[in-house]
Each structure stands twice: as structure tokens, then as C-alpha cells.
Amino acid sequence: MVQDIRQLLITTITEKKENYYRLAYSYVKNKDDALDIIQESIKKALISVDKINDSQSINSWFYKIIVHTALDFLRKHKKVTLADVDTLEFFSQGHEDDYQNIDLQKAIDDLPVKYKSIIILRYFEDLKLEEIAIILGENINTIKTRLYKALELLRIKMD
């Protein structure tokens, strides 16, 4: 049973690795860190594979791990950059990979993380609200409210 789920997990990760990468990237904004998030998430997932009790939810479960790992990463780096002016400058100047259309992208990047996550998962990754609720560990009504709020914020920024 655990072996089957492990195999399923490996298959899922292999098939959807590009989706996972994009999601990781959307948090950390550069290739190297995004790859680190992917690597760490996979190790984390394989070590805890016996905690999956529903093979249906493997995809959401792995998205959830990515979100958590990315947030842990941001949390850590925020602390580091606050502590060190040079690092802060380094990160703010040169660390982000370039975007083709800054304005449009900026609108979404400027959203607080909790709103940004919902927009990405709902509209870019095409996940159902139920799945997003699992991934973000909130109940579905909270997710709905937050999605509405996110769209509103986005509209103000883009108009």
C-alpha cells in the first residue's frame, strides 16, 4: 500500500514537475531558489509518504508541501535580509530574474502572499476551490472570501 502510494507520488511529481516549478518560482522569483524548493519538497514528501491516507489527494498534498517549503524559505530569508543591509541590497537589486512585462506581473506580485497564492492556484493552476482549501489549510468559505478580495485588489491595481 505504502509502496503503491510512493510510486504514485513519484509518477505525479515526474508528470507535473513543471507546474510545481512554476509555483515555487512564483514565490521565490529566481531559478536557483525555486530548484532548491523543488528538491527540498520532494525529499520532504518522500520521507513522509506514509502520512498520505488518500491517494486521490497526492497532487494537492504535494502543492501544499511546495507552498509550505516556499513560505519557510521566504520567512528565513526575510530574517536574513533584515539583519544585513548588504544582503538586502543584493536581493533587491539583482536577484530577481527579469520579466518581460513588469507592470502586469507587478500587479500580482504586489499582492500579499495569501491572496497571490489563491490567484495562482485557482486561475493559473486551475485547481478547484476544495483543493485550494486543502493546500492552504483554510476552510472553503475563507478561501472564497479571500479569492473575492484578491480579485478586487487585483482589479484596483490593474485598472
* Grid cell locating 104: 502586469
Taking CB under 8 A as the rule, does residue 76 contact other proteins? yes
DSSP, collapsed to helix, strand or coil, labels residue 48 as coil
C-alpha span between 1 and 7 (Å, rounded): 10
Those residues whose C-beta lies under 8 Å from the C-beta of residue 12, and which sit 6 or more positions away, are 58, 59, 62
C-alpha span between 43 and 50 (Å, rounded): 13
By C-alpha distance, which of 126, 119, 93, 90 is closest to 27?
119
Report the residue from 5, 8, 36, 87 that binds other proteins according to the rule CB under 8 A: 36
Report the residue from 8, 12, 21, 91 that binds other proteins according to the rule CB under 8 A: 21
Region from 21-29, 85-93, 139-147 binding other proteins, contact rule CB under 8 A: 21-29
Report the residue from 28, 33, 45, 117 that binds other proteins according to the rule CB under 8 A: 45
Binding site for other proteins (CB under 8 A): 6, 10, 13-14, 17-18, 21-22, 25-26, 31, 35-36, 38-40, 42-48, 51, 61, 64-65, 68-69, 72-73, 75-76, 79-80, 99-101, 104-105, 107-108, 119-120, 123-124, 137, 151, 154-155, 158
